[in-house]
Amino acid sequence: MFTSESSKSFKSYTAMLAAIFVLTAVAFSTFILFESTENTDAVQPDTVEVPNFVGFQASEVYEFAAAHNLEVSELRASTVADPALTAGDVLTQYPKLGEVMISGDTVTIVTLVPSSSVWPT
């Protein structure tokens, strides 16, 4: 009788230790899984704050865009009321000054072109 009580006690002790071991292994595996997914070194896209391009030459916008991995969409206007502006000047832009762009985004500019290059005379 003494042996069977001792044997039952040993079996329940062993089962309890096995359960603790399994729970610890599961907890450790879960911790490792979440740590590896949270701390990935995923590449974050570069961001850049948009400067004021209005009044600058389109070539300067293209240089800025190339340096910051941005695209440029250029629209051309042939008539402007301000005689101080020259061909290639940026008249307006989108996005506006101060907005944040992500690498690969497109800056849209409207530039002045001589009227003879738009309409043949």
Task: Convert the pLDDT of each residue in 24-64 to its tens digit.
Answer: 777 777 777 776 665 555 667 789 999 999 999 999 999 99
Task: Convert the pLDDT of each residue in 61-80 to its tens digit.
Answer: 999 999 999 999 999 988 76
| Angle at the Cα of 103 from the Cα atoms of 98 and 105, rounded to 5 degrees | 70
Q: What is the pTM of this model?
A: 0.59
